[in-house]
Amino acid sequence: MPKALVSSRSFANIVSVGAEMLTAAGFEVRRIGPEERPLNAAKMAVIVSREQPDVIISGAEPLTAEALAACPNLRMVMKHGVGIDNIDLDAATSLGIVVANAPGTNTKAVADWVIGAMLSLLRGICTASTSTRAGKWDRFVGRELGAMTVGVIGTGRIGVEVIKRLRGFGAEVLSYDVVQNNELMSRHDVRYVSLDELLGASDLVTLHVPLMEQTKGMIGARELSCMKDSAYLINAARGELVDEDALHKSLKARRIAGVALDVYATEPPQASPLIKLGNVLATPHIAAYTYEAMEHMDRMCAETITTTFAGKRSPNLLNPAVLGDSP
């Protein structure tokens, strides 16, 4: 019986369909317990060596070359999510381990969170709620999203969904991406500009690029200085896209108005000074967490695993050459 080791916090935790599908297909599903968390690279290597799984269903924990090589039976890593910056893809490929992710499964959920964060920032909803619960009756005067210029950095799946929602509000949209989407420009009246122009002209800036060497720290002190002092930054992509020290200094000095963060360079971010600032809206990496997204994601993970172990290829494999010439 093949063993599926679940290191993801969310797989089969919010909905049960993924685990049920794997069990029905003859897999033994084993979850890493809360007593072993948080999971770092060394701990993952120890657990993989101990459990000897055939497939790992991964969350955000690091899967280094050491961890991947700790089990000679390991055939597959299935990311319960989209971004694979925590997985050493080159090491997996050299070890003959196929890696897959679940693209498109959380796109709408994340886009909804981004719009919700924008509205919360513009209207001071969280601050107003705290004030009212404290017995006050203050008037909070906000701004309308439809009157704003919004800069969308990255026009992949999630960026496009955010833009669709913004157009419904009537907001002007500026975009920046190394690859431009011509259909997006014609259908949704989106204008591509340079990064500096976007930062300087936008009332809200939202990040939707993958974490890679070229994007790590792409929003630093210089970029933050380009933004209006009335502007807001939203990050539901990856914490490492932003220089958090520079962001903290900008927020503390009110060089930008505020930020909404769902992701952090270190998670959980209890030691981060950012979450202590009053102009920071902070949530615990939940943008993708809806029942609909989790069901879609769990189902895709289970289907991809069972298809791969049956000797077939799924379109969401990231290194299909590992499987050779199999159909």
How high is the pLDDT of residue 324?
A: 81
* φ, ψ of residue 147 in degrees (nearest 5): -90, 0
Structure-token pair, residue 85? 């910056």
**Cis link prior to 273 (omega < 30° from 0)?**
no
Residue 21 has pLDDT above 70, yes or no: yes
Q: Band the pLDDT of 18: cuts 50, 70, 90.
A: very high
Q: Band the pLDDT of 325: cuts 50, 70, 90.
A: low
Structure-token pair, residue 145? 């999203």
pLDDT digits (tens, 9 = 90+) for 203-261: 999 999 999 999 999 999 999 999 999 999 999 999 999 999 999 999 999 999 999 99
Residue 327 has pLDDT above 80, yes or no: no
How high is the pLDDT of residue 190?
A: 87
pLDDT digits (tens, 9 = 90+) for 274-311: 999 999 999 999 999 999 999 999 999 999 999 999 99
Q: Give dist(CA 216, CA 213) in Å, integer.
A: 5
Chain-centroid distance, C-alpha 222: 24
pLDDT digits (tens, 9 = 90+) for 112-151: 999 999 999 999 999 999 999 999 999 999 999 999 999 9
- Considering the chain, what is the average pLDDT of its residues? 96
Tell me if 54 sits within 8 A of 4, measured CB to CB.
yes
How high is the pLDDT of residue 326?
A: 53
pLDDT digits (tens, 9 = 90+) for 188-206: 888 999 999 999 999 999 9
Q: pTM of the full predicted structure?
A: 0.92
Residues designated catalytic: 238, 267, 285
Torsion angle, CA of 287/81/47/321, rounded to 10 degrees?
-160
Which residues sit opposite 87 in a β-bridge?
63
Q: In whole angstroms, how far apart are CA 276 and each of 110, 207, 270, 273?
A: 24, 22, 9, 6
Give the chain's domains with CATH numbers. 3-105+290-323 (3.40.50.720), 107-282 (3.40.50.720)
Q: Give dist(CA 232, CA 268) in Å, integer.
A: 23
3-state SS, the chain, equals CCEEEECCCCCCCCCCHHHHHHHHCCCEEEECCHHHCCCCHHHHHHHHHHHCCCEEEECCCCECHHHHCCCCCCCEEEECCCCCCCECHHHHHHCCCEEECCCCCCHHHHHHHHHHHHHHHHHCHHHHHHHHHCCCCCCCCCCCHHHCEEEEECCCHHHHHHHHHHHHHCCEEEEECCCCCHHHHHHHCCEECCHHHHHHHCCEEEECCCCCCCCCCCECHHHHHHCCCCCEEEECCCHHHECHHHHHHHHHCCCCCEEEECCCCCCCCCCCHHHHCCCEEECCCCCCCCHHHHHHHHHHHHHHHHHHHCCCCCCCECCHHHHCCCC
